[in-house]
Amino acid sequence: MVTPYSMTFGAFTLHFPQRNLTKDGEAVRLGSRALDILVVLVENAGVLVSTRELCDRVWADNVVDEGALRVHLSAVRKALGDGHEGIRYIVNETGRGYRFAVPVSRSVAHSPAPPPHNSSARALPVTLARVIGREDVIAGLTDQLPERRFLTITGPGGMGKTTVALAIAHRFSGQTGTRALFVNFAPVSETSSAASTVASAVGVAVSTGDPIPDLIRMLGDTPVLLVLDNCEHLIETVAELAEKLLQAAPGVHLLVTSREPLRADGESVHRLAALPSPPPGTTPGTNQAREYAAVALFVDRAKAANDSFALTESNVTAVCDICRRLDGIPLAIEFAAARVGLMDVHAISARLDDRFALLTQGRRTALPR
């Protein structure tokens, strides 16, 4: 096993064998070829490395011209801030080669440490609104996570899968001290970007075309919970990636959200149900209606839209009707409640026959989905 070590120059540190570059402890992103060039120069700090030798070391199995080398050197210089405030990291001796001109110190070190346990919550998005009607699910699945390394929460769009997953991750991290990291696949359209998206979330500076080996080396047997969110459009790729991570990195736990199960080895599935609503044909009073999670959610979000809103005997029937007709789907209920700032609940209920026109004014910052 290679003893971990690091090479430090200025505010930058190269970590080996992971080959990660950090600045003041924060990961610096570099392409694999650019990182290879930097490694060669740093390992030979103060020594002139000829252009030919540099190309041979970085492109061992290929013949490239000096133009390709200059492109990647430009990326290295940009990442280092070469030339800013008079600092020159890489000096070019025209026609001869390149020299790393900054003093480099080498020290035996542990692998780059994961974020401190008490900072793990910052790696997860914070749910700003109160989570309503999911306490039993959150508590139950949190208790199951230590025994189930691979748990997928499924359900139709708008059911609150992400909200529940984040609540579980925060609770699990707080209870166990395990760091939790969030990977959002919603904006990722190419299957080839799935692994690199996870690597970026973990803080892995990928040194090859395939990020999985670097990702696995970084994770190792260190306990970590990865929340893989919105996987349905990349489902086959994520399923394969999940199996590789679980097999090769024994400290990894996966909490996945998807509209359908990944159907991967070792997966446990929880199908998230709709929020309970008053049954058809019933007319509960205000106190009884609040016991239903769908109504409680509507009231909470309606108050946020209009602080004068209150559940009363005169509007409870309309509120219950809204929750029933929206099938207890949390996102639809939130959209309907947001309309309370513009119209009363009777008008909202009456317009639900045209619900797609009515329920389209969500958060401005929401993803297009």
pLDDT tens digits, 173-198: 888 888 999 999 998 989 988 998 99
Q: Does 293 lie in the same domain as 351?
A: yes
C-alpha to C-alpha distance for 218 and 136, rounded to whole angstroms = 34
| Residue 277 belongs to a domain | no
| Residue 123 belongs to a domain | yes
Q: Is 239 exposed, middle or buried (0-12, 13-18, 19+ CB in 10 A)?
A: buried
Q: Does 218 lie in the same domain as 241?
A: yes
| Residue 369 belongs to a domain | no
| Cβ neighbours around 14 below 10 Å, total | 23
Q: Rounded mean pLDDT of the chain? A: 86
pLDDT band at 298 (very low <50, low <70, confident <90, very high): very high
Q: Does 156 lie in the same domain as 101?
A: no
**Using one digit for the tens of pLDDT, what is the confidence trace for 21-63?**
888 877 787 777 888 899 999 999 889 999 888 888 887 766 6
What's the pLDDT at 285? 94
What CATH number should be reported for the domain holding residue 208? Answer: 3.40.50.300
Question: How many domains, in total, are found in the chain?
Answer: 3
Which structural domain, as residue segments, surrounds residue 256?
117-271
pLDDT at 111 over 50: no
pLDDT at 1 over 50: no
Q: Does 238 lie in the same domain as 126?
A: yes
Q: What is the mean pLDDT of residues 341-356?
A: 82
**Using one digit for the tens of pLDDT, what is the confidence trace for 315-324?**
999 999 999 9
Q: What percent of the chain has pLDDT over 70?
A: 88
Beta bridge partners of 14: 7, 21
| Residue 234 belongs to a domain | yes
What's the pLDDT at 324? 95
What's the pLDDT at 336? 94
What CATH number should be reported for the domain holding residue 13? Answer: 1.10.10.10
Which spans in 203-234 are helix H? 211-219
Q: Does 261 lie in the same domain as 182?
A: yes
Beta bridge partners of 15: 6, 20
